[in-house]
Amino acid sequence: MSHSVTVSGQDGAFPGAPDRSVLESALRANRWLPHACSQGTCGTCKIRVLCGEVDHGRPDETILSEAERASGLTLACQATPRTDLTVAPLNDVPPDGPRHPLRDHAGTVLELADIARCTRRLVVELDEPMEFSAGQYAELIVPGSVVARQYSMANPPSESRRLEFHIKRVDGGLATEGWIFGSLRPGDRIGLRGPLGQFALVRPQEEPAILVGGGTGLAPLKSIVRHALSNDLVPSIDLYHGGRGQADLYDVDFFRALEAADPRFRYHPVLSEEQWDGATGVVTDAVLDDFASCKGRSAYLCGPPAMVTAAVKALKRRRMAPRLIFKEEFTVGS
């Protein structure tokens, strides 16, 4: 039996299925709730239950404490409705964020290629197009299981039937070693759901953008670069990609060709553990070296939490306005 869910301040209710998180029900009904990881690890989706009862699921105590639960808070991405609900998000709904309904999709693997150390490009042709914003992600369903892993689309939204993902292998990982780096072959059928996430460049902006990606954190940034340049959404883009060595860099020729063809775009690969004729050191230090001031610029950051935290600190030190810093932290899915 489905329960109705009302979001305080938003018109109308939507159906909340007892076996689906409040967040998933909202996104499937094309209603927006703030969220990022959708797996209970970031806290972005915290909501206050104003009326009704939820099953909290099994939230991590460090993300949603017992005291918070007792005070009526829950995680929209983990909680399921037990009764009709009225809820209020703790975080603001980004006014310029993406707005696309979450849908189940199926498609066929077109391409599966090694592109860097322990990194593969997976290209999937969907049966039906998926609308999304540049920067968002989808969940790939591991066949024969209910396990899903999250990967950002690296293609622009204009390619809504041909999705590109960059996938890092995790030793012993069910989805990576056991499937994407194991049994998966071109021509195989694949299931996924999306889009998800609010890390996105959606509207035109006056501020030049600095993009910083670590490892496969490059994926959503590639989507943003291609989308923003072809739709003239930003005056200019500086893209920084950090890796340990040259073996970790990929799509170098693509970005160098883009840099040569488009004066609005500059590409800065940075290596932290190998000497070469390019930039070396920590990727965020390379940004600091290049910009005496970041005032009046925006930033899009995607990578491991430590890199994102360091980049936010560095950009604020260079006087970038916090409201212009957009970030996606990822934990490598196994």
Q: What angle do CA 104, 107, 108 make, to 5 degrees?
A: 160
Cα dihedral 104, 105, 106, 111 sign = negative
What's the min distance (Å) between Cβ of 144 and ligand FES? 26
Smallest separation (angstroms) from ligand FES to the CB of 76 = 6
Q: In this structure, what DSSP letter does residue 324 have?
A: G
β pairing state of 80-81 and 54-55: antiparallel
Q: Which is nearer to ligand FES, 181 or 199 (CB)?
A: 199
Instruction: Indicate the helix (H) or strand (E) that contains 2.
Output: none
Interface residue list for ligand FES (CB under 6 A): 35-38, 40-45, 63, 75, 77
CB–CB of 226/220 below 8 Å?
no
Q: Which is nearer to ligand FES, 35 or 166 (CB)?
A: 35
The two three-digit tokens of residue 167, written as one number: 């996938």
Task: Give least dist CB 291 to ligand FES, A.
Answer: 30
Residue 61 to residue 78: CA distance in whole angstroms: 13
Query: Residue 38 CB, nearest distance to ligand FES (Å)?
Result: 5
We find the least distance from the C-beta atom of residue 150 to ligand FES, in angstroms, to be: 11
Amino acid symbol at 257: A
Amino acid letter for position 19:
D
Judged by beta carbon, residue 42 or residue 126, the one nearer ligand FES is: 42
**Angle, helix 218-230 to helix 252-261, in steps of 10 degrees:** 20
Our measurement of the distance from residue 250's CA atom to the centroid of its chain's CA atoms, rounded to an integer in Å, reads 19
Question: What is the nearest approach in angstroms of ligand FES to the Cβ of residue 303?
Answer: 17
- Residue closer to ligand FES by CB (options 42, 224) is 42
Nearer to ligand FES, 77 or 287 (CB): 77
User: Which of 2/41 has CB closer to ligand FES?
Assistant: 41
